[in-house]
Structure 1
Amino acid sequence: MSGPIFIESSNGWTKELLPSDFKCSASFASFQFLLDCLASTILDGKWVPRSVKLIAPRVEGKIVRSDIIPLRMVDMECIEEVRSLATPLEHYTGKPWDTSADLISLLTESAGGIILRSNESAEIADLMLRNVQLELHNRLSFQWVMPGLRRKTVAFLEGSTVHPSRGGTAENIYGAAKALGLDVVVLAVQGHWLEGSEYAHWRKAFVPIKFGFDAEFPARIVAAVKQSGLKVDALLTIFDCFQTFITAAAEELGLACEPASAFEIATNKYKMSAFEGHEAFRAASADEALNIAATQTLPYPIIVKPCNGWGSEDVFKVDDAADLARQVSRINTDRHGAEFVMEHYCDGPEIDVNIVLYDGEILFSEIGDEYPKGAENGTQDDFHEMDTCSPSQLPVNEQTTLRSHFHQTLLRLGFRNGIFHCEARMQDSTLEWKSIDHGMYELQETSKPAAAPPSVWVIEVNPRPPGMKATGIVETTYGIDYWALTMLIALRDSARVQALSQQFRNGAQYHADMVFISAAFGDSKEGIWESGDVTTELLERQPHLAKNVSRSMTFIQKGDKVPKPSSGVNTFVAYMNIFSRKSRMEVLEIAKALRQDIQIEYS
């Protein structure tokens, strides 16, 4: 849109619109939003009516995060676009609007704006506006402006190993920090991608640091924080292996932290199993494992997994001693270390339980159902993630048992604050995964006789948000951003932690499934990726499926080499977050269709 723009009111008042009329911000967000509203009234060369909703707080204070409106109004059917008009920590007067307010004043005092989908029927347009108003009550009925907020600084150890173009969580973390009004100091190795100019806007400072697992590492972290020259208010990492070092450094700097002893247990799978009372055995070689098998009565079938593993890599199900040596020899000790744990394999439904814990209380939790893994349904011999469906299908009493068990486990470990990604199996559950169609499963009433009341078999407790892009499905389903809460909890920003832990008043807005796409090819191929951006291609080719996809990404690019699936290395190549407002069954059907239709080629 070019040339002068004039606005005319119903009483004949006319004024030329200028950027200078709007609040002073780098992007002139309000002015640009108005231009986009006007442009949206032209569709295929014809004028169409549009409805627009502006949102402003009714109380005085600073906005808890600048993008709170688009974060909470995500995936509404009648909305074409939702835009933030706020800057981080922007102050609002909370003064009520009246009929005398002009359009420019309304825009400059708004925290967000919504453009509704075009509809020539005034009746339907009015119905959509009323629906948006109801959803504002559902999604924003908590304290999203408050007094006393000020800019603070957090220091991140490592930052993120994965470049944003290859997925990972960096965009989520640094985007949340910016919206919260937080400055970030990155402590990472020299040459890290966050050190360069391309992403300099994501950080206040970058301090190179030598990594290691030696006794002097905490001292190097302390020195790096001081070298930044900034007053750092919180110190954190998203990597399990660095948690105890961060705790030691935080204690030295006088910053809030959780006890090192809690991390020492939670980040070691053998120690965590022993803490839970499992009959677990630890070994560091095939010979040690076979000696244990010869001298102990192992509770077959057993699970073998690295004590310090991640991403479900090198996790094997073993049925007898003959199979034990073969599976143990496959563990990649260069990636996960030599030590591994052997314990009973629980065949109950696998569950993810994510918990927001603050001052010892659960502020928010959600439970997702992990689809049967390849090693369970016979398609592969690994335990790499397939799908995570939420909300869970488990009976309410079993979900209550899960929450209660993990709450008590976290407290017994010594944790009182943090985001925890917990994994378990529901032993003696009343439900089990059953095949309902080729390549499709659902939790249904079990045919097995109950040996005991349902109980929780803990797999692991990760003192961090879920990895990969799994936080995204929680954002869209419940309106909760785990990365923002991770930083606010580290800062002990109680008011914002309490506010931003509030899910939608009506609960999950839809049934959802995170679909993981892993590489699948034989050892005869090199594993060179020939397909390009397979998720974008699929959604453009199948728009009837695309309308049910909230977020998606292909992590690799044409010409990249993918690890061989037989290597045991996690080979996730893409993901899709899908949803249905109709039913969980529709979600499962869409997931199946997407898997069958995605086109992947290797050479």
Structure 2
Amino acid sequence: MEMSVDYDLDDRHLPSSQVEKIPFLHDHRGEEIFSPSSLRANFIPVGAMTADLDESKKSKYSGMFQETPLFSPVFQHLPSVKPETLTGASKEKQELRRKLVRGSNILIVQGGYSGKRFIYERLKELGIIVTILDGPDSYWKQTVDEGLIHQFVEIDFTEYESIVERSLDLLLDLDTVFDGVTSYFENAVPLAAKLATALGVQSNPVEACEKARSKSLTREVMRDYGIPVPKFYKIMNKDEVSKACDAVGFPAVLKPSFGAASFGVFRVNSAEETVSMYDSIMDSFAKDYERSDLWRQGTEMLLEEYYDGEEFDIDIILSNGEVVYNKVSDNWSCAEPWFQEQGTNCPSVYPMDRQEEIMKIAADTTLALGFLWGVFHVEVKYTSRGPRLIEVNARMGGVSVRQANLYAWGVDLVEEHIMSALKIPLSPVIPNEPLANFAQFAINTPYTGTVTGKDWLKHLEGHEFLDAVYYYKFPGDHVMGPDAQVPTFLAEVRCLTKDPKTSMTDLLKYIEESITALTPPLKADNPELPEAKENKFFFPASLFPFAEPAMR
């Protein structure tokens, strides 16, 4: 069983002759004029290049747009749109923004995993003409024939040092002038900024994207701006591990500086454990280097002070340096020592005064890094010493983040992200009270074995709280439990209630009761393991650190 989610934010598919006319300046004689230059600022001066290109390449690419028309439909309209039609929050103004993006050409750098398909379905609904630049094995290549995207540009990411030059050579051979360049994929954010700059399209500064991508650089920026940071030490090779242990102390967290999705993140409690874990991670780097552009961005590691406390996700939207959206979701207790996520709920049920502290450190750090536009997914812990930042992801959050914000606050991060790439002033409509309670639970493998069951969550179907179920592993798949390594992500359950009489506690109780009653659909590799003998999912109420007292 798999249930999909239907989004009907923009369900009008009318012929152009029936679409409401966009109001232009010439329709409003005698009223204030909007400066064309302020909205055409999407394009930087011709010939602007990234520092990655040598002098011969700079000569080759400079002036490439001198005889090329720069503006697609969105930029033909923007200079003549009345100012009040784009500033401020209302349903009418948001609909106008949606109309303006129709027909714009967007380059997406690396499409991400197939689970991000909902992004491109939404972009198609908005009338965006999408080109994806990605590797030869990309899922997105096939979506051209499906009509989901306009074109796919194939490139080999294994030679990462020359990726900017080779990408530009391919892109300049296209009959497409791009109005925006962006990515919804963590690993690709700096590359997207470099390509945008080289193509003459304004984006967030390359330097800001690189600082956010590197966890050690993020820490350095925070320290320089007086934002609280943990003790941390950048490890460039094994000889520096002992120095890092002496500098940071224990418990600590060892993580790749350029990691994503908690890959390679471990809690360590001693110098011996740190050395062992460092060797293990370096071994995985060596094995995966040719396959993963994640590691090719750098194998630098970071050892930093372990934070106690409760963890949160903060979703932020910036419009020309102004925070126009800032909302908190609660993360449930992570499975240590891997920091694997278990679930989330939105809106937050944490005290509002502490939420405000959390939102402040998230926004302050994002701005300190140098960002001006876009959607950001920021992770923060509220510790015994107050809020402390984990990381800033310079793109929309993955998995259920879009759905959580859409359901709870009515804000579609997919469309806000693409509008920010086009430099359309953003001001989403935010209700005074949440529209719904949303919760998501990640079902992780309790012990190593082989999946035997199909539709094993079918008993949830039809419940009033159930929104969707997604399976990620299927009969015959071998999966890993905590007895072997980081547990495998088996399935995901998303729950929703729009009834104000139904509290978040009710929603969480439903999830707990539904999952703890299950028998895992697994044949254990080692039937003598205590977990295999118990043969249940471990899902205690203590996983909900922010629930009302009745749940504790």
What's the TM-score once normalised by structure 2's chain length?
A: 0.72
Partners of 2:484 and 2:398 lie apart in 1 by: 21
Partners of 2:236 and 2:480 lie apart in 1 by: 25
| 1:236-255 to 2 correspondences below 5 Å | 236-255=182-201
Partners of 1:283 and 1:326 lie apart in 2 by: 14
Name the counterpart of 1:364: 325
How many residue pairs were aligned? 430
1:287 Cα deviation from its structure 2 partner: 4.8
Task: Look up the equivalent residue of 1:343 and give its one-letter code.
Answer: E
Name the counterpart of 1:29: none
Asked if structure 1 preserves the Cα contact closer than 8 Å seen for 2:90 and 2:429, the reply is no
| 1:82-481 to 2 correspondences below 5 Å | 84-87=11-14, 91-92=19-20, 141-146=91-96, 149=100, 150-162=102-114, 168-170=115-117, 172-196=118-142, 200-212=146-158, 214-277=160-223, 278=229, 279-284=231-236, 286-293=238-245, 296-331=246-281, 332-334=284-286, 335=288, 336=295, 338-375=299-336, 381-428=337-384, 455-481=386-412
1:141 Cα deviation from its structure 2 partner: 4.5
Asked if structure 2 preserves the Cα contact closer than 8 Å seen for 1:538 and 1:598, the reply is no
Task: Look up the equivalent residue of 2:189 and give its one-letter code.
Answer: Q
1:326 Cα deviation from its structure 2 partner: 3.2
Pick from 507, 521, 526 the counterpart of residue 587 of structure 1. Answer: 507
Aligned-pair Cα RMSD in Å: 2.8
What's the TM-score once normalised by structure 1's chain length?
A: 0.66
Partners of 1:487 and 1:465 lie apart in 2 by: 10
Partners of 2:272 and 2:15 lie apart in 1 by: 60
Asked if structure 1 preserves the Cα contact closer than 8 Å seen for 2:342 and 2:442, the reply is yes
Q: Assess, with a 3 A threshold, how the Cα gap between structure 1 residues 183 and 570 changes in structure 2: closer, same or farther.
A: farther
Deviations 1:20-73 (A, max 9, x none): xxxxxxxxxxxxxxxxxxxxxxxxxxxxxxxxxxxxxxxxxxxxxxx998339x
Q: Assess, with a 3 A threshold, how the Cα gap between structure 1 residues 512 and 469 changes in structure 2: closer, same or farther.
A: closer
Asked if structure 1 preserves the Cα contact closer than 8 Å seen for 2:317 and 2:326, the reply is yes
Task: Look up the equivalent residue of 1:207 and give its one-letter code.
Answer: V
Q: Assess, with a 3 A threshold, how the Cα gap between structure 1 residues 534 and 216 changes in structure 2: closer, same or farther.
A: same
Name the counterpart of 2:494: 577
Asked if structure 2 preserves the Cα contact closer than 8 Å seen for 1:330 and 1:568, the reply is no
1:567 Cα deviation from its structure 2 partner: 5.6
Partners of 1:383 and 1:349 lie apart in 2 by: 12
Alignment partner of 1:539 is 2:460: yes
Name the counterpart of 2:549: none
Alignment partner of 1:508 is 2:434: yes
Asked if structure 1 preserves the Cα contact closer than 8 Å seen for 2:209 and 2:394, the reply is yes
Partners of 1:191 and 1:321 lie apart in 2 by: 40
Deviations 1:398-446 (A, max 9, x none): 2112222222212211101111110011123xxxxxxxxxxxxxxxxxx
More strand by share: 1
What secondary structure sits across from 2:139 in the alignment? coil
Deviations 1:478-509 (A, max 9, x none): 22221222111111122xx33xx223x24312
Pick from 51, 71, 87 the counterpart of residue 9 of structure 2. Answer: 71
1:258 Cα deviation from its structure 2 partner: 0.8
Asked if structure 2 preserves the Cα contact closer than 8 Å seen for 1:187 and 1:224, the reply is no
User: Percent identity of the aligned residues?
Assistant: 22
1:286 Cα deviation from its structure 2 partner: 5.0
Name the counterpart of 2:475: 558
| Greater alpha carbon shift after TM alignment, 305-314 vs 342-351 | 305-314
**What runs of 5+ residues in structure 1 fail to find an aligned partner?**
1-66, 73-83, 95-138, 163-167, 376-380, 429-451
Asked if structure 1 preserves the Cα contact closer than 8 Å seen for 2:361 and 2:389, the reply is no
1:466 Cα deviation from its structure 2 partner: 1.1
Partners of 2:305 and 2:339 lie apart in 1 by: 15
1:385 Cα deviation from its structure 2 partner: 0.5
| Greater alpha carbon shift after TM alignment, 413-422 vs 242-251 | 242-251
1:563 Cα deviation from its structure 2 partner: 4.3
